[in-house]
Chains A and B, each alone.
Chain A
Amino acid sequence: MTRFLPDEFRIPAIGAGVIVLAALLPLFDDGFYLAMAVNIVLYAALCTAWALFSGPTHYISLATAAFFGLGTYAVALGNELLPFPLLVALGAAIAAVLAGFVGAATLRISGVYFVIFTLGLAELVRQIVSWAQVKWSTRMGLYVFTDFTEAHIYWMLLALTAAVFLTGWLINRSRLGFAMQIIGNDEAVARHCGIDTARLKIILFMISGAFIGMAGAIVAPRYLYVAPPSAFNPTISFLVVIMALLGGTRWLWGPLVGVIPFTIVMEFVSANFPNDTSIVIGIVFLVIVYVLPDGVTGRLEQLLARMRRTSTASKAATVKEAA
């Protein structure tokens, strides 16, 4: 890790300010807006954690639902045995182990195998969990009774999001982040520089998976009743990919730009056209590929660069005219 420079702290300071402001929300509303804010913060944490890995490597991970569900299950199973913070840590650990396992199996070969493997991962874990539940216990679902209110969950998710951002910021300025940048640009070059590409990718995937597992653990009390099909819902994986790519993954805060509008739109769509959510998701995927390949932030970056170019060009022209 390199030495910190004073002006590097400006962005984290702004971020901390935003989070403090956001934390005040439950004081003003504890109904509809708080529920929506919980969704937004949840997806902000998930998408940013997803982009930690998938941003620099360009590997599309669909394992989110599997990590998320494992976190939820860790809480549901251990709720009466262990204190909650320990369960959240446990959820993170289980998700990280699974991520390490998946990474070790696929990330040494090529990106396509990784996508395929993660595509069915949530369904695989769901089948195994259901099978184990039927075999060793008679109940299909589990009740999660805690004293947490919606506001508590909101604050915990906000803290998690802050932790994800802090981790992302620290990674970006570390040797790991630098190495990931080289891998993202050209993997062959990275290997020739002596970077152990597979190992770094696996480490990063485990970090990302651990945060997703924690998010699943934190929201478990919100569900009250946890059963395999709802905990390992594959739609979560796809929503996370869409929101993160819609915002753009070039910057740490890029996914956030996609999360906020998309969560609101999805809320509207699922309230008014509940049967057409897949059509909306499909269209947004196509829009991302054909219209916004680098996300909204990538497009803004392009526009800014073009405006700067035209303004310098016109300035040069006026200078010429004056001369």
Chain B
Amino acid sequence: MEILVTGILLGGTYALIALGLTLQYGVARIMNLATGETLVAACFITFWLFASYQVSPLWGLVLVAPAAFAINWAIYMWLLKPLVDRAKNQGMLEVDSILATFGLLFLFQGLMLRGFGGAYFTYTYLAERFEIFGSPYALNRVVAFLAALLIAAALYLFLYRTRSGTAVRAVAVNPNSSNLVGIDVAATAALAFALGGALTACGGTLLSTFYTFNASMGVVFTLKALIIVIMGGVGDVRGATLAALILGITETAVASLIDPGLMLAATYALFMLVLLFRPQGIFGKQPT
């Protein structure tokens, strides 16, 4: 039971990171391998705001999310849009975007190493006991989970209840047909990419309240996010949320029952199962 609760609490933060990536890859068609660096950057900014100006991480969200939105929008318009325009097919765009975001990954990582060094960082925020079903949990994890839940709910309302949200989902299904029904595909893709970056940054801010982070851990989170996205089905918001919870529970179970050093092996085992049995995602339809 404890494993289940801890896993679900962790999965909430994973879900935000993966939702960000699924928007970027599913709608904007950019495989963003620098997503982990966006996350780590948000961790550092939250830390810096908290340590220097005593800004609580929850208020930090209000600053971090719009900043990440603007930066990701600029990255898409200046760096990635030219690649989208020059690509002759989906395969070429994939190779180009993978290489370009590798470049960003190393660049951001290098800049953060310069700014903060390679040490591990952590800070104390809401480190109190909180009881669920009679067992104690850290309050910061519960708060992070609730905040993640609220943000995910807001995203769901946006995607399923507004016009621009519907446009985003339409582009995810088929960009060419969306163009035919009068959707500005380029603008929608930029919006989705920026929104995805903002969600990932929110995930980072929440993660930093209970997790020890350092400048070079981004790749591990990129990998987790990618695996969640594939498990849930590319561009599928509900699938990504469910897959994030499954991953959170599996990792917690392996870490507490077998060995914490094998967390990535657990992630990979899940990935293998998905590739072998449901490469189209949990809710995905069998391609005909």
Please give the residue numbers on chain A whose beta carbons come within 8 Å of chain B beta carbons, in ascending order.
Answer: 58, 60, 105-106, 109, 111-113, 115-117, 119-120, 123-124, 127-128, 130-131, 134, 234, 238, 241, 245, 275-286, 288-290, 293
Give complex CA distance A205, B114 in Å.
37
Q: Contact at A285–B106, with CB atoms within 8 Å?
A: yes
Q: Contact at A285–B103, with CB atoms within 8 Å?
A: yes
Contact residue among B91, B108, B261, B279 (Cβ-Cβ distance under 8 Å from A111)? B91
Task: List 7 additional A-B contacts (Cβ < 8 Å) besides A276-B114, A282-B108.
Answer: A116-B223, A123-B220, A130-B261, A131-B262, A234-B219, A285-B103, A290-B82
Give complex CA distance A275, B111 in Å.
10
Give the secondary structure class of B's interface. Answer: helix
Contact residue among B91, B106, B226 (Cβ-Cβ distance under 8 Å from A278)? B106
Shortest beta-carbon contacts, A-B, top 3: A285-B103, A282-B106, A282-B107
Q: Contact at A282–B103, with CB atoms within 8 Å?
A: yes
Q: Contact at B262–A128, with CB atoms within 8 Å?
A: yes
Give complex CA distance A9, B220 in Å.
47
Q: Which has the most chain A C-beta neighbours within 10 Å: B83, B219, B223?
A: B223
Q: Contact at A282–B104, with CB atoms within 8 Å?
A: yes
Q: Contact at B91–A282, with CB atoms within 8 Å?
A: no
User: How far in angstroms is the closest Cβ of chain B from A248?
Assistant: 13
Q: Which has the most chain B C-beta neighbours within 10 Å: A106, A111, A286?
A: A286
What residues on A are CB-neighbors of B33 within 8 Å? Answer: 119
Q: Which has the most chain B C-beta neighbours within 10 Å: A131, A134, A241, A245?
A: A131
Give complex CA distance A82, B23 in Å.
53
Q: Contact at B230–A113, with CB atoms within 8 Å?
A: yes
- Report the interface size class on chain B: 35 or more
Q: Contact at A289–B100, with CB atoms within 8 Å?
A: yes
User: How far in angstroms is the closest Cβ of chain A from B206?
Assistant: 23
Give complex CA distance A235, B272 in Å.
24
Q: Contact at A127–B261, with CB atoms within 8 Å?
A: yes
Report if B109 contacts A (CB, 8 A). Answer: yes
What number of A-B contacts does a CB cutoff of 8 Å give?
Answer: 114
Q: Contact at B99–A289, with CB atoms within 8 Å?
A: yes
Give complex CA distance A134, B106 in Å.
32
Q: Contact at A282–B105, with CB atoms within 8 Å?
A: yes
Give complex CA distance A112, B26 in Å.
13
What residues on B are CB-neighbors of A120 within 8 Å? Answer: 219-220, 223, 264, 267-268
**Residue in B closest to A126 when the chains form the complex, CB atoms:** B264
Report if B245 contacts A (CB, 8 A). Answer: no
What are 28 contact pairs spanning A and B, CB under 8 A? Answer: A105-B272, A109-B275, A111-B94, A113-B230, A115-B98, A119-B33, A119-B222, A120-B223, A123-B223, A124-B265, A131-B259, A131-B262, A131-B265, A134-B261, A275-B114, A276-B114, A278-B106, A278-B110, A280-B110, A281-B110, A282-B107, A282-B108, A286-B79, A288-B99, A289-B83, A289-B96, A290-B82, A290-B100
Contact residue among A113, A127, A277 (Cβ-Cβ distance under 8 Å from B265)? A127
User: How far in angstroms is the closest Cβ of chain A from B43?
Assistant: 17
User: How far in angstroms is the closest Cβ of chain A from B104?
Assistant: 7
What residues on A are CB-neighbors of B279 within 8 Å? Answer: 109, 113
